[in-house]
Structure formats: structure tokens, C-alpha cells
Chains A and B, each alone.
Chain A
Amino acid sequence: MTAVIQAALNGIMMGAMYGLTALGLTLIFGVMKVVNFAHGSLLMVGMFSAYWLIRLTGIHPYLALCIVPPILFVFGYYLQDVVIKPVFKAERQVREPLTVIIVTTGVWYVLDNLALMLFGAEYRTVRTAISNKSFALGEFIISVPKFSGFVAAMLTAAGLALFMRKTKTGMALRATSLDREAANLMGIDQYRVYNIAFGLGTAIAGIAGCVLIPFYYVYPSVGVVFDIRAFIIVVLGGLGSIPGALLGGLVIGLIESVFSQFMASTWTEAIIYAIFLVILFVKPSGFFGHKQDW
């Protein structure tokens, strides 16, 4: 029983971090109505940025959290502006711009393989000030980097929710996600909103990167592993729903951790896919999504 609870605790922390990786995706999904296949690569960019920053300057990962996300915001903003916006403009009439999906996949290929060319394929880890530390909670052991990740995820989600609700830009984003045409009529520049959404999504991927680096290793295709999971979580939680992304992440994290106490961890992956398919068929809008979104 202790093992199960220990696994559950770990699952909650990992789940929150999975939710964090999905947060940026759900934002982009919700506002722009597109599947951003490059999201994993953006996470990889975040992780590599954090890696090099810490490796070259030795700063504390918490400090890296202040530096990496803003850089990634700018990166995401301009990526969307230069590469993806033209496709949006061309597909103005189409409700589901499939071409955007394809373009984001192209971005994924390019980013991942540029990283491969620049950094090589090897797995890299960096020892940070908090790596490998843990503290005891009764008879259970809590890993410090994972706990920090949990806290960071919660704070980010709360911060994002506040932003969406209280700030003018946030409300503009929400308006666009609910009804693109109406928002346009109200004077909201749709494309600027898209840029901001994409930038924000990328910045959140940057936060996730900083949070993962203290305990996970980075390599050019690290994004792929998290990407698929992020999609599953987004669908599970509901398009564009912030609490949905967190909840979805928690569910996945718990399944991964707890189920593997009872079966080989290689099977939990198959189970996650099975659950994904069930959700897609039974309730495609997920926990908190809106029915008419798709």
C-alpha cells in the first residue's frame, strides 16, 4: 500500500508537469483552433535553452525560470508571425486550416533536426543545485526537482487563468477563441492575438523546459516523447481549458505511476493510448471543453 501511495504522490507531481507541457498547447489549440505539431520541438528548445544557460553560467534553476520563458515568448511570437500567419491568411475562408497543421509539422522537423545538427544526438544532463535532492514526508520520499515542478505548474496555471480573466489582452484571447468573427468585429486584431497566444504557449513550454532539466535529460528529439502525451492531455482536458489541461495531466501522471505498480510500465503506455481513443469516441470535448468547438 505504501508503494501505491508513494507512486500516487509521484504521479501527481509528474502529472502536474505533464499538464504544464500541455498548457501551452491547449492555449494555442483553444485560441487558434489548430493542432500545433511543433509544440514538442518548442519544449525541446526550452529544455536546451535551460540546459545551456545552466551549464554555461551555473545559475540556479529557479533563476533560469526568469530568463528562459521571456526569450521563448519572443521566439514563439515571431515564429507564428513569420511562418504560420501567412498560411492563416491564405486559408481565411476555411474553418479548419489543415495546412497549418502541416506547416507546424514542417517546423517540427526543421527545429528538431537543426538541434541535431548543432548539438549532436547524445543525451545530455546537467547537475543543478536541486538535482537529486529529496525530502521525507512521513514514510514517503518527495523529490525536490519534481516538487518544484509541481509548484511551478500550479503557479503557471493560476497565473495564466488570472491573465485570461483579468487583463485586456487575456480577454482578447478568450474572445477570439470563442468567436473569431465577432472578436474581429469588435476591433480585436485576430493575427496579433494569434501571435501573442503562440508566444505565450511557447513561453510556457520554456517554463516546462526549465522545470524538467534538473532531473531529465535533453536530446534533439526529446520533444516527441512529451508531445504525444501533451495531445492526449489536451483532448482529455478539453480544448482551451486551463484547468482541463492540469486535470488531464494529473490523470495521465497518476495512471503512469500507479498502474505500473501492477503491470509492466511498458503496458501503461498502451493503456494511455486506449484511454485516449475512448475519450475521442465517447466525449471528444473532454472534461471541460465546449461541444461545438469541433
Chain B
Amino acid sequence: MKKGFSGSLLAGCAGAALCAVFLAGPAFAADKTIKIGNVEPLSGPSASVGIQGKQAREMAVEEINAAGGIKSQGGAKLELVYADSKSDPTVGVTETERLINTEKVNLVTGCWNSAVTYPATQVAERYGIPFVVPVAVRDTITERGFKYVFRVAAKDSWWVRDQFRFLKDMQDETGVKLTKIAFLFENGDWGTGFAEKWREMAKKDGYEIVLDEPYPSTATDLTPVVTKLKSARPDIVMLVSNAADAILLTNTMAEMQLKPKVVLASGGGHADPKFLENTDQNALGIFDEVEWNTDVNKAGAKAANEKFKKKYGYDLTGESVDAYAAMYVIADALERAASTDPQKVRDALAATNLTAGPAMIVSYDGVQFDETGQNKNAGIVIIQVAEINGKPERVTVWPKSARRAGYTPAFPANK
């Protein structure tokens, strides 16, 4: 056996020295700025939404700072600090800790992936730093009795509830009765969570579940799954997919000439701008559930979208709007707290009653958090992909009050 210890002593001292060098971490004097840490998936499978979230935040913070910053704190400007979660919960946890302990942020937002948000928010709770979740639907994020976690978007049980309300409303409106339902979902955290609730709601509403299939998001070939779907002959197909598999699934269904009466997706991959780019005509008729759509009937929505599109090259989506609104929620709370003390900021957040201002381009009417930190008013809209002026476009169809004027939804989309 080799004499390992000798070499290790040398290396051990070298290692200690290495650590000491990096001890002298960055020490910059902070001006009158309030730091907001953001854990987002800037690389990895959800990179495109992560980057959109980053851009939306930047747009909001620019506007807030240009309008004078946080006036109750001497015009303090907001500063955004980012950390890449890579959609990996472990990295998310480590990065949240780093943002809190090293970067000394005053608030944290993030993380888009529920699987990352779930443990990362526990870190913030542990350290008593307010954590605002713009988008991340897993119910349990706000159901643990935490005091420092606030969520702007709706939770997934509400998403599911609204999906089934939509189905019922449309069947009432058109007089068409649909009975057989199929569930197809990515086998990660998000998909499995939705599927659980789907089963409950389907049972309640009296549907017959003809297929209940998880599939691996990275599958090389979805033809077997589509074949299975075809032989199950469902009326309604409910989907939860990430970007790449949403594209693969839609194209494979077109290839296999499978045209169910109703296809209802749950946002995420289907809402990604790349989806329509890569599926084009194959996506016509699909219904999707999102927090927001470009044609939503709210003041300032169109202008904000134009501004975003001009700056970054694509439309706002539900996720980016939530991130945008979250910044205004934070600014509003900081304004009322008149301090950066975490406890005071936390209390100000809990008392939020935001019903006016640039944040109100969201599809619902105000942000108010209940005792669990959940935004009571959070809602969703259902869109349908339809051909408008020769191009596939997403058109808001539900709730009826939000429906784009002059558009009659094709329900069922196929016979």
C-alpha cells in the first residue's frame, strides 16, 4: 500500500490555504439599494422559462427604479441578484442559502420548478427571510404553516379545479356530452401532482378514466404511448408536459392521426413560445391553461406586452407576467414596511392589498394573501390554439367574461 498520508498532509495544508484565500469574499459597500435574490433555472431543461422570468423581473425593476424606487426608504433602488438553479433542487437549496448568507439579500423569489421551490422555501423560512413565489404550483409550498413564504400564482389544486370547471362550462354551453377522459403526464413532480388531483376531480364529475399514464419526460419515442392512447379512444385528453415532450407528443399525435375531441394541456411546456414554433398546424385546436394570455382584457396589458416584445423578441407569458407582478408586490410591501427588517417586510407582505398599478395586467383583480401566504385571487384562463390570419395563435376562451370578442371556441375541436 502506498504511503498516502505524507502527500495528504501537503495537500491538506494547500487545501486550507486555498480556502483561506477565498475567505476574503467580495466586500462591496452597499448604497441605498435593496437586494432581491432570484433563484431561477437559467440553464437546464427549463432554461427558456427561467430566462423569461429573469427578463420580466428586469423590466419591472427598471420601471420601479425609474419611478423613484422605494420612496418610504429614501428612494432606495431595487437590485436583482440571480442564481441558477439548473432545475436541480439541491443546487436551488445551496444557492438560496448563498443568496441569504453571502449576498445578504433582503428577499428571495423563485424558483419556477416546484421541485426546487419546495425545499428552497424551507431554507428561507429557516433563516426568516421573506420568499415570494411568483410561479410554482405545488399545493404544499404554501401548506406547511410557514410564515415567510408567499405565492402569487394559483396552486395546482385550483388549476385542476378550473380545468374541470372549463370542461363542464363548455359542455353546458355547447350541449355536447363527453364521458371518457385520459390522463397523460410527465412523470416528474409537477405531472404526478396534477394527476393525483385529476383523479379526484374526474371521479367527482363522473368521468370514465380510460387511460392514466405517466411517461418519462426525456423519452426518445412517444409513439407507444400515443398508440395506447389511440386504442383507449378517449373523448378528452388531459396533458402535463414540459417543452420538448409537448412538441414531440403533439407531432407524434399528428403523425399517428390521433385527433381526440378535446385536448386540454396544463401550461408549462405547451405555453412555451417554442411549442407553437415547432408544432405549427399540428397544434390547432389544443386547449391550454395559463395564468395569462396576450389578449386578456385588462388595461395596460397590451402596452406592457408590446414593450416586452420590443425588448426581448417574444410575447409575455403567464410565468413572466407573474414574475413581473411579483416585483410590484414586493415594491408595494417595501413601501409600506418602510424598512428592510425581514419581520416588518414579512408583515407588510401579509397585509398586501394590491388592486391598482402596473401589476394589474394579470388576469385577475388583485393580490391579497391569505393566512397560508397564498394569493386568494389568483386565477387562470383557458386558451385555444386557433388559426387567426393564417397563423396559429392562442385565443382566450374561458372564463366566458375573458373570452376574446368575436371568437367562438371549437368545442369539441375534432369530431
Contacts and interface: CB of A to CB of B under 8 A. Distances in A.
The answer to whether A and B touch directly, with their CB atoms under 8 angstroms apart, is: yes
Interface of A: 2-3, 6-7, 10-11, 14, 116, 120-123, 125, 127, 131-134, 141, 143, 146, 215-217, 219, 225-226, 256-258, 260-261, 264-266, 269
Contacts, number: 97
The 8 closest A-B pairs by CB, nearest first: A3-B231, A123-B244, A260-B224, A257-B224, A10-B223, A121-B43, A121-B47, A134-B255
Contact of B214 (A10, A14, A120, A264): A264
Nearest to B244: A123
Contact of B227 (A6, A131, A264): A6
Interface residues of B, number: 34
A122 B216 contact: no
Contacts of A216: 220-221, 248
Given A261-B224, A265-B224, A132 B254 contact: yes
A158 to B, nearest CB: 24
Given A226-B220, A257-B221, 11 more contacts: A2-B231, A7-B223, A7-B228, A123-B274, A134-B255, A143-B223, A215-B251, A217-B247, A260-B225, A261-B224, A261-B227
Interface in B253-297: 254-257, 274, 278, 280, 282
A134 B256 contact: yes
Contacts of B243: 122-123
A225 B230 CA distance: 26
A3 B226 CA distance: 10
Given A10-B223, A121-B47, A217-B248, A134 B278 contact: no
A123 B269 CA distance: 11
A226 B218 CA distance: 11
B223 A120 contact: no
Nearest to B218: A225
Interface in B161-219: 187, 213-216, 218-219
B342 interface: no
B44 interface: yes
A125 B256 CA distance: 19
B128 interface: no
B255 A10 contact: no
Contact of B230 (A3, A122, A258, A266): A3
B48 interface: yes
Most B Cβ at <10 Å: residue of A3, A11, A133: A3
B82 to A, nearest CB: 16
A122 B251 contact: no
Of B45, B187, B224, B280, which is in contact with the most chain A CB atoms at under 10 Å from its CB? B224
Interface in B26-72: 43-45, 47-48
Nearest to B254: A132
A134 B243 CA distance: 23
